[in-house]
Copies of this chain bind each other. A is one copy, B any other.
Amino acid sequence: MAARLGVNPTSLYNHVPNRAAMIEDVRALVSAGIDSEPLRSLPWEEGLRAWARSYRRAFARHARAIPLLMTERASTPVLLSGYEDFVVAAEAAGWKSSDVLPLLTAFENFILGSVLDMSGPAVVFDPTGQEDDFPRFAAAFQTLADEDPADPVATRAFERGLDMLIAAARPR
């Protein structure tokens, strides 16, 4: 970061107390794009869908920050405020307090994995030359040739997984 700003690394610490605080500032910047208002205003399933989509969009512009952010515990108020909305909505949907953070983490894992996926090549597989060995996989791969460029496999995978998680997002 110092190199990018053209300053001495120690100069950064005139502005932030330590590395962890700097990471929290990055987290705050990225998290500001997550819209948790739908969790307060919409039915549970619809709120989840709008929140998860905005979460993916917010991180999509900063995919390379994800591994960094996962090295430190999250405490920035802008993110915790969204978590509070998630917890209140999950409890209203019937989840126990002790089950809410595993549920939240499951959604976040899926969303952040989806962001990493979309940050790589548009198609992440390549069976070229191995069609005889893996015929059903190669046939599925071939269908990607016809896909709508406005609806790439990364987006269809995200929407598919989100549909699946949301279909099961009430306690049984």
What residues of chain A have their CB less than 8 Å away from a CB belonging to chain B? 64, 66-67, 70-75, 77, 80-81, 83-84, 86-88, 91, 97-114, 116-117, 119-121, 123-128, 130, 133-137, 139-141, 143-144, 146, 153-154, 156-161, 163-165, 167-169
- Given A102-B156, A160-B102, verify A84-B168 contact (CB < 8 Å): no
**Are A109 and B100 neighbours in the complex by a CB distance under 8 Å?**
no
Chain B residues contacting A154 (CB-CB under 8 Å) are: 105
Task: Report which of B66, B97, B106 forms a contact with A143, defined as CB distance below 8 A.
Answer: B97
**Are A114 and B109 neighbours in the complex by a CB distance under 8 Å?**
yes
**Are A73 and B123 neighbours in the complex by a CB distance under 8 Å?**
yes
Task: Report which of B73, B105, B134, B164 forms a contact with A80, defined as CB distance below 8 A.
Answer: B134
Task: Report which of B73, B98, B117 forms a contact with A140, defined as CB distance below 8 A.
Answer: B98
Report the minimum CB–CB distance from A85 to chain B (whole Å). 9
Per assembly, the copies of the chain total 2
- Given A102-B153, A112-B116, verify A126-B161 contact (CB < 8 Å): no
Assembled-state Cα–Cα distance A81/B134 (Å): 7
Assembled-state Cα–Cα distance A105/B113 (Å): 10
Whose C-beta in chain B lies nearest to the C-beta of A169?
Answer: B164
Whose C-beta in chain B lies nearest to the C-beta of A141?
Answer: B101
**Are B98 and A130 neighbours in the complex by a CB distance under 8 Å?**
no
Report the minimum CB–CB distance from A157 to chain B (whole Å). 3
Assembled-state Cα–Cα distance A13/B105 (Å): 41
Chain B residues contacting A144 (CB-CB under 8 Å) are: 101
Name the residue among A97, A140, A169 with the largest chain B CB count within 10 angstroms: A140
